[in-house]
A and B are shown apart, each in its own frame.
Chain A
Amino acid sequence: MEINRLLGISEKTVKIALKEGADQAQSATFLLDDALTRFANSQIHQNVASKTGGIAVKVVIDKKIGTVRANTLEEKQIQDVVKKAVKIAKVIPSNKDFKSLPEPKKWAPIEGAFDSETALCTPDYRAEKVKEIIETAHSKSSIVKAVSGSFSTGSASFAIANSLGISAWAQISLAAINTTVISEVEGSEGFGSAEQYSRFVKDIDNIKAANEAAEKSVKSVKPMKISPGDYEVVLSSRAVAVLLSYLAYIGFSATMYQDGQSFVRYHLGEQVFDEKLSVKDDAMNPLTLYAVPIDGEGVPKMAKQLIDNGKVSEESICYDSFTAGKEENKSSTGHSIPPVVRFYPYPRPIPINLIANPGKASIEEMIAETKYGIFITRFHYTNPLKPTEAILTGLTRDGTFLIVDGEISKPIFNLRYTDSMLSALRDIPMISKELEQVDDTTAPAMKLKKLRFTGVAQH
């Protein structure tokens, strides 16, 4: 079994590091088996697969820490990796903030996290499903001009061992599909999109995604322009997921909190959001996509209540062992980034299993309860402007509609929002009872009393 091999290599590497003179050592081995079929202009234009394995070795000598990460699992090369890490640790100054690598804690694998059918999915299967998406979208209307998207399948496995006795592993499969449909009438383009995520490729409903994207695309042609300003909005789960994911990124990481950049630091115990808003980070919850029981240091992932009935607190903050060591009486909450994350250079603890509480409404009811507002399918290129006030900016995309007297009226030009989430999420009249998995966030749709728009796009 792959995972036994990874665990064996990790444990052996720790022993090698100790033999080389390390006081403490940690080894994280990983395997990524990814495949992705991408399509645009209603044909496949990119079809790729890659298998990557590797190791990240951390050695500690007199509180001096050296880390080397290499994409090899060969014993001889791993010995070289350990020697390089030891060499680094011997020459750099000690890190007074470092307390210790984490101690072992009880953990258990998550059942149902890995599906071999998803991990071994073939390019022919993906091509067939893509073909169905393209045909379905085009069959929806003759104004459908182009269908694009991607279908990815694969698996990720990692195993962590350290010199204090940690020996833990995780293995998940992942499948994701997204499609953007472009329609055109008399030179006016309409965009619509849909996406789905699952650990089980059989649960991906490509036809549903194609229908949803095509329908929005067809309805989006010939949009009208409205002025920027404050509007009531109905946000799809995808739009809500973006806002919550950014809030988590700027607010709940111990690194941001300790640097004074997190809004949480300045609003402890306050009713900063609507009391209906509760968000937790819980890797063990079946609703989350990234079902990994341990973090990148082998620490069991602790469930954290990030937002509790609209309030944030010190208990909301997510730590790895290093950031926990910088504060009194803190320990890792299991939020170190797993080694399978490809863009590894600047690690910081971060929640990746966000789940918002559902409400009682449906999207249809939210629209029906809106006299004059905007329906938003998704946000594009969101970025924080001022993390301490949770001010974000971004644009709507792929299906933005005016709501008039409780009904979707007309498509509108995309809008730029610039607003503090401390204001936008302060009054949430309705939350949907349905939750949707959108990458690292499982979110309901929401109606917000007010979102501030500061600009209009040209389409």
Chain B
Amino acid sequence: MIHGCGTMSLDFGKAALEEATKRGASYADIRIGEIFDEILTVKNGVTEEVTLLQTSGFGVRVIVNGAWGFAGSVDLTQKEVVETTKKAVSIALASSKLKKRDAVLVPVETRKDKYFTPLKKDPFRIPLEEKIETLMTAEQIIANYSDSIKSSSAFFRALREKKLFMSTEGTEIRQQITWCGGGLECIAVKNGEVQRRSYPASFRGNFGTNGYDFFESLALVDNAKVTAQEAVQLLAAKSCPSTETALILSGDQLALQIHESCGHPTELDRALGTEADYAGTSFLVPNQVGKLKYGSENVNIVADATIPGGLGTFGYDDEGTPAKKVHLIKEGLFVGYQTSRETAAELGLKESSGGMRADSPLTLPLIRMTNINLVQGDWKTDEIIEETKKGILMLVNRSWSIDDKRLNFQFGTEIAWEIKNGSKTSLLKNPTYTGITPAFWGACDAISKEDWKMWGTPNCGKGMPGQVMYVGHGCSTARFSNVKVGLIK
């Protein structure tokens, strides 16, 4: 039994749906849920943060007079459920005064089902002391490596989301999604020069829908020394030159490149203009589906909510659409969007891609990335380097920025190596690169078949009020020709 989503919750759910129907809703759904989020931070020799965040409540979504209304509350009682449903209906009525057309949803098969993230070791059952000891050991290896290490941190995070989804169409789905992961970060300082290195990825590490064994597989203790070593080495490294050259991106950086330049612009709500006031729109407009050359023929990108271990992996989205794998880019051609039931209908599609998720039971589902993956290529990773006469290999993100149509981007990474005649030579600090999305992906001439893996981003922001979602990206090392690098003067 998923706690908080039991028989009592079913009764509350039915009460909401009945109330909505009674008040004229042509469609209604309710999500009742709980989230447990455990965050551990060891920094500079002390357990700086041991925090458990608990969120619970429900959200009711209704269509009345062809317009949407939504209301949420933390107070899961029969009375509050009914009152919140009334509020959602009154909001929908207010919305309906200013509608151009009725909200229409593509059909989804009615289901009664359950989904649990498969786990070997439940991260919430591992004693706190054990997790902290691992973090402390790794962090101390970094701290003791050199006097130049100014700050050393180790992170663990585990999140469990339990939710019940019910709709007036008869769907009833219980899910328990669990993810965890962690990482390392160190900052080295000498003579005013400051460099950061993170492992295995920046922003607190790597995460996946997986058990504690995933965290163990990150081997933070084994990788602490080299993380510190590279931070110190960067202090004396030469700066990334300003030039146009072949750029090789490792998976940890390529994941964010995919996120920003393919993930967000293929969200259909953006493309249809509903994020125009905040995050922006998209250069991938609907009349370009099947026509626009997004990248080279090597480039195949899918939205795949089914892949085991991906941070964006689940059983059903928050509209009850089952997890799917859909192509966004096929052999370089833009072929599809991430959609909701409503946006799919607006585009004349037969079904939703299953991309609707909310970051809490109290917030409205939006189209969110699932796992946006670059399909592996046919190169060996070593071959990509060996067959590069002149280039730069960049790893681990440090900064990111992209325009409101998702075309002009600029990224910085923590570390880079100069490639000369097929070999890694000098270490480079402060690497940056920039480009225009289709030109950049059009210049993708090699993708590795060897080091493909999933990268988890637990902090994707979108929407108003702002929501933060956990999403994944699968990719391997790839090469791009004639990229402008070295933007820092």
Contacts and interface: CB of A to CB of B under 8 A. Distances in A.
Given A46-B364, A414-B403, A148 B129 contact: no
A416 B50 contact: no
Interface in A54-113: 54, 64-72, 81, 84-85, 88-89, 91-98
Contact of A88 (B52, B97, B465): B52
B73 A50 contact: yes
Contact of B274 (A41, A69, A95, A131): A41
A47 B55 contact: no
Contacts of A150: 277-278, 464
A27 interface: no
Contact of B364 (A48, A81, A459): A48
A179 B277 contact: yes
Given A92-B129, A96-B46, A393 B401 contact: yes
A142 B41 CA distance: 56
Given A40-B276, A343-B468, A383 B74 contact: no
B489 A452 contact: yes
A327 to B, nearest CB: 13
Contacts of A66: 50
Contacts of A46: 68, 70, 274, 364
The CB with the most chain A CB atoms within 10 A, among B67, B151, B464, is that of B464
Given A50-B362, A391-B488, A123 B94 contact: yes
A67 B49 contact: yes
A259 interface: yes
B408 A47 contact: no
B465 A97 contact: no
Contacts of A89: 50
B453 to A, nearest CB: 25
Contacts of A51: 72-74
Contacts of A456: 408
A370 B464 CA distance: 37
A93 B132 contact: yes
B422 interface: no
Given A68-B54, A72-B74, A416-B403, A343 B466 contact: yes
A10 interface: no
Interface bracket on A = 35 or more
B404 A52 contact: no
A381 B465 contact: no
A382 interface: yes
Interface in B403-448: 403-405, 407-408, 410, 412, 430, 432, 434, 436
Interface string B94-114: 110111110000000000000
Contacts of B344: none
Contacts of B127: 91
A231 interface: no
Interface in B128-157: 128-129, 132, 136, 150-151
Contacts of B100: 41-43
A258 B150 CA distance: 9
B401 to A, nearest CB: 5
Contact of B436 (A380, A393, A395, A458): A458
B52 A260 contact: no
Interface residues of B, number: 84
Interface string B42-75: 0011111111111111010000000111111110
B296 to A, nearest CB: 19
Given A123-B91, A146-B273, A345-B37, A382 B51 contact: no
B39 A126 contact: no
Interface stretch (A31-39, A270-278, A294-302): A31-39
Contacts of A94: 46
Contacts of A386: 412, 430, 488
B408 A146 contact: no
A157 B39 CA distance: 25
Contacts of B219: none
A444 interface: no
Contacts of B39: 345-346
A388 B74 contact: no
A458 B283 contact: yes
Given A72-B74, A382-B401, A45 B129 contact: no
Interface in A114-131: 122-124, 126-127, 130-131
A193 B56 CA distance: 36
Interface in A403-417: 414, 416
A53 interface: yes
A185 interface: no
Contacts of B436: 458
25 contacts: A37-B94, A43-B98, A46-B364, A47-B69, A49-B87, A50-B362, A67-B51, A69-B53, A88-B128, A89-B50, A91-B127, A92-B50, A93-B46, A96-B46, A122-B94, A146-B276, A148-B276, A182-B273, A346-B39, A380-B404, A383-B400, A391-B488, A395-B404, A458-B283, A459-B407
- Top 10 closest A-B pairs, CB basis? A123-B94, A70-B54, A50-B72, A148-B276, A260-B189, A40-B274, A259-B151, A127-B94, A180-B277, A95-B46
